[in-house]
Amino acid sequence: MRGRRARRKAAASRLPTQHELLTEPGASLREAMLDQTVTFATLFGIATGMFSCALSLAFTQILNQDRLFWFMIASIFVGSVCLGTVAARRFLSAMDRLGTGLHGEQAVAFVLKDLERLGYSVFHDVPSLRRPAPANIDHVDIGPSGVFAIETKTIRKRGNNYTIELKDQQLCINGHPLQSDAIAQARAVADDLAHILDRFAGQQCQVQPAVAIPGWFVRADKIPWQQSVWVVSHNALVSLITSPHRSTLPNGLDKKLAGALRAHIRSVDASTS
């Protein structure tokens, strides 16, 4: 009886909000950080086991005069130390890179909250149809002024120069080109988003690609309206997206496209669960 009453009580209750959580900003980066943690723990565990094994053998066979035995013990010692060192270096490097990317995506997501207040539909970490890369679309905004696919490029600051130059679709700092494919990635995810919306909404639409660089001032040789791919600071996104320079979508089309994108995200979640 108590079980039945508890089930009826649970069925009569509901969650405090009706907001449907899809994917959070940086969700794929968090998964990658978890994978790196598991890999590091595994390798470091193996290294610790090897070291402990060699240490215990050395103590139990301390009077052993066999050179081959001590060579084996020394090899295990050296191998365990090297394995642990390499695993730690790779782990710290990967966590720094992924943590920097996560910080940038969260910064962009925080700014894009303003669009939600204006009636835009904002999505984060949208699964891509392309494999293996790009595996996700960092941010998608759909509203009266159009559809936008935003690729986040997070760059650490060194020194007092906070300006990135964009010339001929090449990012530069202090005149030195950056080894970055962010602009090409933005084009790719915009094409992929257009394909997703065509597939789930039966509607062909133009998607504006953009690269957001959190915390930097971007000096470009062309104004954003003349760029095939917008490259801007994250703080400039909302004003650009809502600018009167943008043409508007037909009434109600933005809601249809947003619903189609939700259907795509649910279908991917269902296939991976």
Task: Tell me the DSSP string of the chain.
Answer: -HHHHHHHHHHH---S--PPP---TTHHHHHHHHHHHHHHHHHHHHHHHHHHHHHHHHHHTTT---HHHHHHHHHHHHHHHHHHHHHHHHHHHHHHHHHHHHHHHHHHHHHHHHHHHTT-EEEEEEEPSSSSSS-EEEEEEEETTEEEEEEE------TT--EEEEETTEEEETTEEP---HHHHHHHHHHHHHHHHHHHHS----EEEEEEETT-EEEESS-GGG-SSEEEEGGGHHHHHT-TTSPPPPTTHHHHHHHHHHHHHHHHHHHH-
Tokens of 125: 């970490």
Task: Check: CB of residue 114 under 8 Å from CB of residue 218.
Answer: no
Angle of CA points 142, 148, 150, to nearest 5°: 125
* C-alpha to C-alpha distance for 117 and 4, rounded to whole angstroms: 42
Query: What is the structure's pLDDT at 272?
Result: 67
Task: Check: CB of residue 125 under 8 Å from CB of residue 140.
Answer: no
- What contacts 122, CB < 8 A, 6 or more positions away? 109, 112, 113, 115, 116, 139, 140, 141
Task: Check: CB of residue 164 under 8 Å from CB of residue 216.
Answer: yes
Per-residue pLDDT for the chain (273 aa), expressed as one digit of tens each? Answer: 444 554 455 445 443 434 444 667 777 777 777 888 888 888 878 878 777 777 777 777 666 667 777 777 778 778 788 888 888 888 888 888 888 888 888 899 999 999 988 889 999 999 887 665 547 899 999 999 899 999 999 888 877 777 888 877 788 887 788 877 888 889 999 999 999 999 888 888 889 999 999 988 888 877 777 788 899 998 999 999 998 777 778 888 999 999 999 989 888 876 666
Neighbours of 84 (CB within 10 A): 19
* C-alpha to C-alpha distance for 136 and 26, rounded to whole angstroms: 10
- pTM value is 0.76
Query: What is the structure's pLDDT at 63?
Result: 61
Task: Note if the bond before 214 is cis, omega within 30 degrees.
Answer: no
Query: What is the structure's pLDDT at 62?
Result: 67
Strand partners, 149: 140, 209
Angle of CA points 56, 61, 64, to nearest 5°: 150
Query: What is the structure's pLDDT at 151?
Result: 93
Query: What is the structure's pLDDT at 82?
Result: 84
Query: What is the structure's pLDDT at 108?
Result: 92
Query: What is the structure's pLDDT at 211?
Result: 93
